[in-house]
Structure 1
């Protein structure tokens, strides 16, 4: 079942359960996917749906950092709940150790040896971990390895 189909089914389930918070998040994610589909002018494949889902997750995570720094605990709590719902649809996230193994493999594969090779290595890593690892974590680990 496609992500959009899963979202439709879960939306119905949330309506039946009268789970307004979950329903709201599912509707937002579904709308984001549909808007992207309209922009493209065609249905999204699973890779593109995953990209939209990852973007929604990242936006909320960044907002949560801002709300925490502003000491808005009420908003932080609601964002944490939204993140949990979105995380349900994302593939299982790689651990830092797993990402480190991939970074090491790609560095060896590309022959990277300095910070100048950063972009070349990222270009190879990102498709391998799409939706499974945070870009900032990859960037941090790669910078440590190339310095």
Structure 2
């Protein structure tokens, strides 16, 4: 029996050094994510962050060196400029926890961004292909009752 050809051509994500896209003025990952080796909590700008970027870029720690948001890695194949994390209010990243399949973390950068129609549309699209976990770093608890109705429905669909 002949091998079947997959219905799609696999796409290799470019290494960050090969990217044509740059972060520009977006500092979402440098502000929103926690970096334990730097003692940096989530939702606080990194001490190394300056108006021109990272002042410790050449010596940045492994978590910073290894992180690339999906907007930057995508190179415009799926996400356009309006999806840049600081513009959309959501930063998508690979979860990095599953070893057998990819899932996506959606980091809500500002409260209630999850309720915006363009954000809901993007998450619904991604969920056709990957599990998407919504992370709301600014909330002290994530009980569905504390979320806007649109966010409650998205969170329920993720379960």
TM over 0.5: no
Which of the five TM-score ranges fits, normalised by the shorter chain? Answer: 0.3 to 0.5
Q: Which has the larger radius of gyration?
A: 1
> TM-score, normalized by length of structure 2?
0.32
Bigger fraction of residues in strand? 2
> TM-score, normalized by length of structure 1?
0.33
Bigger fraction of residues in helix? 1
Higher relative contact order (CA 8 A, sep 6+): 1
